[in-house]
Structure 1
């Protein structure tokens, strides 16, 4: 009996020492006052002040939507009447539950929606009512925008996107009193969870110098080159924009033709080399490739006038010459990821125009857009008004801040990448879990002003790359249709950054043989899918249709990773076998060990 009482007593949360609790609150209050005073001082001096106006041109989208609503009041009244009917049904449903009757919910969250996984959302009548009320209202709001604006209106897509941001922000899970898990934790900890949450929020405000920079992972748990980004190799060349890494072989013989990887400079390259178990680089080395990786610099204001031409010449073009010195090979197989794939497409067209197309024997594109006619949700951030404002800010600083770019990408999946951390860190008072992918995601990079302006205008705003001669790099008009290089396009079905229907259309711009493969999942998980994990399927099709949905309907679904399929394809372009090459064996003296210094430059 005494043991049972002792066991029960151990389950009761201990009350904090009143004096210690008061002291902690006083310290936090003093800390918060200082942060707030610093914030006001910056606003008064103009530093970090948010300019007046509407930089993202959201107001025009909502004015357009309002005008359309006023011109069709019958549709609005019909939507309101339907919502009223659903509320009446919900009240009746809730009353029956309160009387002890079994009822079926009127609306259920999506199966991938993790916000309502706590059992109280199903078992408790009040919380179930709150949940269903929120789901009905959010469905009504989003449906009304869709009915008024339709599918194809740019202003409609912008209004829809920001309505969804509002809907996500207003979820009952984001508030203490309407989140059962948060409330339970606060009661069990006697309020200490909320105290810790306030500490976490103040620390993030301080880290962001007055702006909230949400901590997504334990950043002290990882160190580049020590427990992530560890594939052995050497930096064999560097210039102002990039370091070139050659990885050490793990096989006795290798393909004669080297493999050059061009990552995006919007992110750091090591998404392809996080850990041993999910490193594409390490896996490619184990398949017998001599792998070279471009590691882009994280630029500062001194790169203000750096052009897209510079990324071409000091990136892949210079890398090709260095690889020839290191291996004696005049031709490579090349991979480009995301923006790196767009640059690869431009490089192929540039080489074709120069009569040097044979310098790249095959081209692999990971989640790459060449046709930007359907840019997905990123398109809501880019219109002439928004771009004018962005350019003004970029040229004033000399670059686009990496934190701003990260916020943009996080908004595309706000429930997963914003609000889940608000709940965990601030409402629950927990520390973020150490996660290598989120560490990489928070390791943001800056964009040189001139280069990024060119990219946004020519690709996103004008969609000029698909038009022969409309984009000129280093004095050379580019024509993708003249590219005859064999190409492999890998896209992801749930990609919010490079929608697969757009990447599919881009693959049809080339004039040579193309293999298109569609992976399950998104922009990262669809690509980083090692065979050993046995996750996510992919689709392979032989249809020559230029309609993406027709292609998918005829495609074959294949279980597991697409990596083995690419390995078979690239084997045809390996040009035989030669003894393994060690970095530095070709006469180029190694500069330092991989991953080099450029990747370690963090945006503060």
Structure 2
């Protein structure tokens, strides 16, 4: 044998294991998914394809289900024939205002709108109730089909919309000129990420303008102290923990609808956390960092400034969830600094979190992790897009119709200005939040660890005041109500009119406001949400005075006004501080 042709190995062969390059290929896949996310708004295309495959395969294997749908289609066709002849066989669902104008009742627009609504009704039947389809997949298919149908609503098309045609004839086409200008403005804003146009509402001047001082700052929060505007003050301060998916001044908008201004006028010293708007450098901040460097650091500062007084802690949305976690850990560890806990639209059990759970599946979260890994955070526009899809009729298509076809523009107001002032979410924190709370429901089921040990909401003994809103699409009120299953302390529950934001910003004197309120004393039996609603006291007006009366009942006699800051926490700047101004 020729040894030159067949050389012998000089040592043992080194075979590289196949997984050695796995990290490199995973990184490439992550980069690809991040690029896909720029076009899909952060939504996983695979999750939707798999959902439709699951639904379609089961439908293909259910011939009698298909026969049922065919019969339903025939019934819809007969109802459509009635609509053509002037009947109105179907009314839009509650909250659908696209066809409210009387012109939609005149031919041929009555047939157009009725045909569309009948088609929507049939597709709702077709995408629900399929046996064997994964529940998450069925919800995704139903939601996706509703979004697709909304795109093709006749109200979105000029020649099919009688309101747009009437406006054009009346104005001589000026509405279309204004609509084109609005479209160009929106395009510029979407590209630059900044509002175009006038001065509008300015933070620190028109909104977030309640006088106060920054008394503490770390890399995550600024703590603002607001002094009472009364001659004396309750000894217990109110500490507000807003969600870090929003700027804090949702609770300090214009002077007439500022909850913070309302509280200081009732004799309360108020502290508010102003979260920093994180960038790529915050990618590794954890959910517990927000508890420790946010809630607990603020509590330490408030305790130092206000001495021995206990604290009324208040959390809004995700801020309420992290406050609940902190309160449970404090109760476990014997920390008794809390006089009470108030939660606004804050979930603690996520099993019935509404349509937002459509975006929280294992597939979707893996895709979102890749999107966030590339940039280090979730952009506010990506998050806002998901929220708008939950109410696409009101928040997308109806607004586009009014703006582009009718040439109308929403008048700027404080709430719209705040809503456009978005924030980002650190990648690791957001992934932990979605997995541990939404997907796995660890907090409600006793698996959520703080400092290596589990916490339980049942350990919280401080009185609770919980507010939910009737039309909340982010924290549905029946989901918020589940805290009554998890804690048997003294609990007052309020259900107020409005949605996630407008229901909370509900100042006294606001028109068309109402709320229901009920108190469950310590150890009382559990009452389900619908039975609770049937028994609760119905009240007209704002719920703010009811909260103020509840705080008073859980507070001590008034004392002299406290100082602004302390030796260890001196005032270092005027409110609203610098973090709220960061883009």
Same fold flag (TM > 0.5): yes
Partner SS for 2:98: coil
Does 2:111 align with 1:129? yes
Does 2:342 align with 1:364? yes
1:359-438 to 2 correspondences below 5 Å: 359-438=337-416
CA distance in 2, matches of 1:568, 1:232: 24
How far the C-alpha of 1:47 sits from its partner, in A, is 10
Aligned equivalent of 1:148: 130
Contact 1:491 1:500 in 2 (8 A): yes
Match of 1:162 among 144, 150, 155: 144
Q: Deviations over 1:262-304 (max 9, x none)?
A: 0000111111111122111111111111000000001100111
Aligned equivalent of 1:560: 541
Q: Deviations over 1:325-371 (max 9, x none)?
A: 32223521100011001011110122123221x11121011111111
Contact 1:379 1:460 in 2 (8 A): yes
CA distance in 1, matches of 2:278, 2:536: 42
Contact 1:363 1:485 in 2 (8 A): yes
Residues 82 and 295 from structure 1, CA distance in 2 versus in 1: closer, same or farther, beyond 3 angstroms?
A: same
CA distance in 2, matches of 1:48, 1:204: 21
CA distance in 1, matches of 2:199, 2:398: 21
Does 2:515 align with 1:538? yes
Partner SS for 1:298: coil
Contact 2:315 2:342 in 1 (8 A): yes
Aligned equivalent of 1:3: none
Aligned equivalent of 1:75: 65
CA distance in 1, matches of 2:306, 2:62: 68
CA distance in 2, matches of 1:520, 1:187: 38
Contact 2:58 2:133 in 1 (8 A): no
Partner SS for 1:466: coil
Instruction: Choose 144-153 or 379-388, whichever is displaced more.
Output: 144-153
Partner SS for 2:576: coil
Structure 1 spans left out of the alignment, 5+ residues: 1-42, 98-103
Q: Deviations over 1:541-592 (max 9, x none)?
A: 3563342222223223222222222222211222221122353477743222
1:9-28 to 2 correspondences below 5 Å: none
Contact 1:492 1:500 in 2 (8 A): yes
Structure 2 spans left out of the alignment, 5+ residues: 1-31
Does 2:555 align with 1:574? yes
CA distance in 1, matches of 2:99, 2:372: 40
Q: Deviations over 1:213-266 (max 9, x none)?
A: 897x97731111111121111111111101101113211111101110000001
Contact 1:529 1:535 in 2 (8 A): no
Instruction: Choose 281-290 or 561-570, whichever is displaced more.
Output: 561-570
Does 2:475 align with 1:492? no
CA distance in 2, matches of 1:472, 1:514: 25
Partner SS for 1:507: helix
Q: Deviations over 1:40-70 (max 9, x none)?
A: xxx9x97985389944611222222222322
1:449-460 to 2 correspondences below 5 Å: 449-460=427-438
Contact 2:223 2:272 in 1 (8 A): yes
Equivalent residues, number: 546
How much is the aligned-residue C-alpha RMSD, in angstroms? 2.7
Contact 2:466 2:491 in 1 (8 A): yes
Partner SS for 1:209: helix
Aligned equivalent of 1:207: 189
